[in-house]
Structure 1
Amino acid sequence: MIAAGFGIYAIAIPALLLVLLAGAEIVWPRRKLVLGRSPRWRTHALFFATNAVVGRLLSFLVVVGVAAHWASTHHFGVLNLVPLPFWVGAIIAFILLDLAVWSQHFAMHRYSFLWRMHAVHHADRDLDVTTALRFHPFELIMSTFFKSAIVALLGVPLLVALAFELWLNANALFNHSNIRSPRKLDRMLRPFLVTPDMHLVHHSTLVDDQKHNFGFGLTVWDRLFGTYRTESILGAENQKIGLAEIDDSRPSGFIWSIKQPIT
């Protein structure tokens, strides 16, 4: 019942945020787009649709919600073994899940077989809110099993696991958006949350920039592990987006993008 009821919010809130951020990008753009919105948006919509189907198929095996329910039913996982108030356990779970996502992202850049999947995301030569939808199905599958395993091992409560997924998706939409936010607001948020300007660095064509700012939600991990960078070494206004070896319109095509991990 919890998962079914929460599902409405898990769809409605990101959808509303996507529309709002897309509108804000038009009014207050951070950067001029190289390839424009079309056919990029069409390609990213196809990624979303494909991943929705893959996610549905995965639900017959395992998803984060199923892992959380299983852990609770079997009293499995660290948080189920330690008597803590619900709110304390929820905060700990959020922090550790965010660390797990940071670690997964770091691994995606470190190991070549994982990078082949993740490079599809980085191939986008522009960065806007729809780039948050541009993840290869292979990466979705790997990520789902990884997060489900972490949720089970930690014994994260179902409601907390679902809330984290919603929070993570909302953050991804926000920090991929092409919005020119006031510098004062950016400075206020950065000690805690990943901002669009901060994540922009990570999508640089420079490999050295790509090895920084792995966070999607909290900024503490990049600061703690020495991977935080304020802006590109070329400067925010001069950095290019995408992969250095791809300087044409191929990333805006769905077929080309979907084939990349196996070509």
Structure 2
Amino acid sequence: MIGESLLDNEPVIRLSAFIGIFAVMALLELAAPRRPLYVSKKLRWFSNLGIVVLNTALARVILPMAPVAFAFVAQEHGWGVFNIVAWNGWVELVLVVVLMDFFIWLQHVMVHAIPLLWRLHRMHHTDIDYDVTTGARFHPIEILLSFAIKFAVIALLGASPVAVLAFEIILNATSMFNHANVRLPLGLDAVLRWLVVTPDMHRVHHSAVPRECNSNFGFNLPWWDRLFGTYTAQPGAGHEAMTIGLDMFREDHEARLDQMLIQPFKCARGEYAINRRDWD
């Protein structure tokens, strides 16, 4: 009964969390912005939120089930470590969130390292402003790839549906938080970035400087970048003066939704993929 209720209400739970967290971060951006915005917010928000709607619709149509529903399938078939070995429910939930976060971090490094995948992912980086909507700006093909990777991880771990739902909500929440154009007190940021990826920490990843762009890959937990040597504390030019985006797709019309969708098929792959280390 609980499982059926969770499955039936999963879209409502996730949508409610998204709207609530988005509203809070958007209000904080108005109250304490970190940087001025340069592109029309009306254009950017229409395009970035339009991508969210498109990605959600495509995922529901193309994929037979969402990650939470797939976790039920894995549970029914006894797939994965947590379906083989009995664990305390709370311990399992924490381990699933941490391990899935690591695989998402690894996926993020991968889409920077493989030129073909970088073409898909660079749409996330061609936003030349940085605010809460940037956290949802991903190409539909990359979203489908991400779903496939999540399914594989869920099957490997045997993650419970509750743990998967918790991870999805946390990931979406932290993505909106760390992409927000919010000025946090420096002392608070210094403490928080040991526990969660902060806006100042992740903003470095959206720098137009290739070395900075290829650092701070975390969306949720900040530990992986520190452990694997991809952590950059601050942008060289400072947060107010740094250039956001890439050295391509900077014209105003590139912020239109139709132009964003065809970006992977335009222009050269550029110098930002990790294996193009001309910037060493």
Counterpart residue type for residue 134 of structure 1: R
Q: How far is 1:82 from its partner? A: 1.6
Residue 87 of structure 1 is aligned with which of 80, 87, 90? 90
The answer to whether residue 158 in structure 2 is matched with residue 155 in structure 1 is yes
Structure 2 partner of 1:29: 33
TM-score, with structure 2 as normaliser: 0.90
Structure 2 partner of 1:6: 10
Counterpart residue type for residue 40 of structure 1: R
Whether contact under 8 Å (1:28, 1:180) holds in the other structure is: yes
Q: How far is 1:197 from its partner? A: 0.5
Paired residues for 1:117-136 under 5 Å = 117-136=120-139
CA–CA distance in structure 1, aligned partners of residues 130 and 88 of structure 2:
41
Whether contact under 8 Å (1:194, 1:218) holds in the other structure is: yes
Structure 2 partner of 1:168: 171
Unaligned runs of 5+ in 2: 267-280
Q: How far is 1:165 from its partner? A: 0.5
Distance 1:241 1:174, change over 3 A: same
Residue 248 of structure 2 is aligned with which of 235, 245, 250? 245
CA–CA distance in structure 1, aligned partners of residues 62 and 90 of structure 2:
30
CA–CA distance in structure 2, aligned partners of residues 140 and 30 of structure 1:
28
Over residues 91-139 of structure 1, what are the superposed CA-to-partner deviations in whole Å (9 max), with x where a residue is unaligned? 1111110000000000010001110110011000000001112111001
Paired residues for 1:81-230 under 5 Å = 81-230=84-233
Structure 1 partner of 2:22: 18
Whether contact under 8 Å (2:126, 2:248) holds in the other structure is: no
Q: How far is 1:234 from its partner? A: 2.4
Over residues 36-77 of structure 1, what are the superposed CA-to-partner deviations in whole Å (9 max), with x where a residue is unaligned? 3121011112111111211211342x4312321111001110
SS, match of residue 41 in structure 2: coil
CA–CA distance in structure 2, aligned partners of residues 36 and 183 of structure 1:
28
Unaligned runs of 5+ in 1: none
Distance 1:49 1:7, change over 3 A: closer
Give the number of aligned pairs.
262
Counterpart residue type for residue 225 of structure 2: D
Q: How far is 1:213 from its partner? A: 0.3
SS, match of residue 38 in structure 1: helix
CA–CA distance in structure 2, aligned partners of residues 221 and 170 of structure 1:
19
Q: How far is 1:250 from its partner? A: 3.0
Give me the identity figure in percent: 37
Structure 2 partner of 1:48: 52
CA–CA distance in structure 2, aligned partners of residues 251 and 230 of structure 1:
30
CA–CA distance in structure 1, aligned partners of residues 178 and 186 of structure 2:
15
Counterpart residue type for residue 43 of structure 1: S
Whether contact under 8 Å (1:77, 1:156) holds in the other structure is: yes
TM-score, with structure 1 as normaliser: 0.96
